[in-house]
């Protein structure tokens, strides 16, 4: 008889694949990470090499906690989109060159002889926060992540909300200002083009502040131009929150990402204002919270995606 060497009842592997870095971890049923590894993605070295390194990292983590793949529930993968959860395929020539139409689920399933699932990384992070972070206790959650872009994940009754053809809705591309910057999504002045780190940096560069950090430093020093750049971003966040209140109407809005780490109150106030002014919605039906798991939401959420898929 093989005895599970861990007191923890179950462990699942969570894999968080980004354009720069892949992070792998073993996650218990309480969302605790028992062991983790990370390494550069180097997508251009080819997909097979990527899978090999993910498998090796999971094996190393299992060895570290004194376990083996007999005790693994399975592998959940969150990956920078576009991905196709239903088919387990990644289709992202943008940040994962050569990983184009590749099936990541089948080799992981075959190697470990365990279930495997694939989700969009923003959805995986939202699942992590919803189950083990800022979303606990809420029936429906919208998470917005303000970083290089504006990522979004929507959970309804503990499940990832999927649109037509199971595609992930992109709240980062809600349209607000037809006179705003052009975006690859097809409109001018979407949320991402006004309020992402990239957008604030671009406006800051033009205005001589260097980058987003420079804009916020100048704002603190009372600079009017910096105030205008931040106001434009904050106004977009306010309108995004209003839109979310009148389309998805979640119980909780979670804000995360690099900019939020430093400027949560500024962004949260804009969201709260929209929620409070929405007279058609019941008072107090939605609250706002800051993401709690940071970069680990990806691993924890990917592992949990495996569990909620079963």
Q: How far is the CB of 72 from its own copies (least distance, A)?
A: 31
Is 19 one of the binding residues for its own copies (CB under 8 A)? no
Is 281 one of the binding residues for its own copies (CB under 8 A)? yes
When binding is defined by CB under 8 A, the residue of 58, 79, 122, 171 that contacts its own copies is 171
Is 186 one of the binding residues for its own copies (CB under 8 A)? yes
The overall longest dimension of the chain from CA atoms, in Å, is: 71
Is 181 one of the binding residues for its own copies (CB under 8 A)? no
Span of 6-14, 47-55, 65-73, 180-188 interacting with its own copies by CB under 8 A: 180-188
List the x/- string, 236-255, binding to its own copies by CB under 8 A.
Answer: ---x--xxxxxxxxxx----
Q: Which two tokens stand for residue 164?
A: 């037509």
Query: Strands 33-40 and 21-28, how do they pair?
Result: antiparallel
Is 184 one of the binding residues for its own copies (CB under 8 A)? yes
Is 146 one of the binding residues for its own copies (CB under 8 A)? no
Hunting for tokens 């995360």 — which residue is that?
256
Hunting for tokens 């990917």 — which residue is that?
302
Query: Vertex 203, ends 95 and 125: CA angle to 5°?
Result: 40
When binding is defined by CB under 8 A, the residue of 37, 53, 173, 307 that contacts its own copies is 173
Q: Which is nearer to its own copies, 40 or 163 (CB)?
A: 163
Q: How far is the CB of 276 from its own copies (least distance, A)?
A: 9
Query: How would DSSP label each residue in 124-181?
Result: HHHHHHHHHSTTTT-SEEEEEEESSSEEEEEEETTEE---GGGPPP-GGG-B--TTS-
When binding is defined by CB under 8 A, the residue of 66, 137, 222, 282 that contacts its own copies is 282
Query: Strands 89-91 and 83-84, how do they pair?
Result: antiparallel
Span of 26-34, 167-175, 213-221, 294-302 interacting with its own copies by CB under 8 A: 167-175
Instruction: Count the site residues for its own copies by CB under 8 A.
Output: 37
Separation between Cα atoms, residue 41 and residue 22, nearest integer Å: 5
Hunting for tokens 């987003």 — which residue is that?
212
Is 277 one of the binding residues for its own copies (CB under 8 A)? yes
| Alpha-helical segments (H) within the chain | 47-64, 105-112, 121-132, 191-195, 197-206, 212-220, 224-245, 258-277, 297-309
Residue numbers 72-91 binding its own copies by CB under 8 A: none
User: Which positions touch its own copies (CB under 8 A)?
Assistant: 139-140, 156, 161, 163-165, 167, 169-171, 173-175, 184-187, 239, 242-251, 277-282, 285-286
């Amino acid at each position: 008889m093989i005895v599970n060497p861990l007191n923890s009842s179950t462990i699942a592997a969570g894999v968080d694949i980004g354009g720069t870095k892949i992070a792998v971890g073993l996650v218990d049923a309480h969302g605790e990470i028992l062991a983790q590894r990370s390494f550069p993605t180097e997508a251009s070295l080819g997909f097979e090499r990527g899978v090999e390194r993910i498998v090796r990292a999971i094996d190393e983590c299992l060895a570290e906690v004194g376990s083996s793949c007999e005790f693994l529930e399975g592998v959940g993968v969150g990956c920078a989109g576009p991905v196709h959860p239903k088919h387990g395929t990644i289709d992202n020539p943008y940040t994962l060159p050569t990983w184009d139409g590749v099936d990541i689920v089948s080799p992981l399933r075959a190697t470990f002889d365990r279930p495997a699932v694939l989700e969009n990384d923003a959805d995986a992070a939202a699942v992590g926060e919803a189950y083990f972070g800022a979303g606990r206790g809420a029936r429906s959650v919208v998470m917005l992540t303000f970083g290089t872009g504006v990522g979004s994940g929507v959970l309804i009754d503990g499940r990832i909300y999927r649109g037509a053809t199971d595609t992930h809705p992109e709240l980062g591309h809600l349209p607000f200002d037809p006179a705003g910057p052009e975006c690859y999504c097809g409109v001018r002045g979407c949320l991402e083009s006004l309020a992402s780190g990239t957008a604030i940096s671009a406006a800051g560069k033009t205005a001589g502040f260097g980058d987003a950090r420079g804009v916020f430093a100048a704002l603190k020093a009372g600079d009017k131009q910096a105030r205008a750049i931040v106001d434009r971003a904050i106004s977009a966040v306010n309108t995004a929150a209003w839109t979310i209140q009148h389309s998805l109407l979640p119980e909780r809005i979670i804000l995360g990402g690099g900019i939020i780490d430093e400027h949560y109150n500024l962004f949260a106030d804009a969201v709260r204002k929209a929620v409070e002014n929405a007279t058609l919605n019941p008072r107090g039906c939605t609250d706002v919270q800051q993401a709690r798991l940071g970069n680990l939401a990806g691993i924890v959420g990917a592992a949990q995606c495996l569990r909620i898929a079963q």
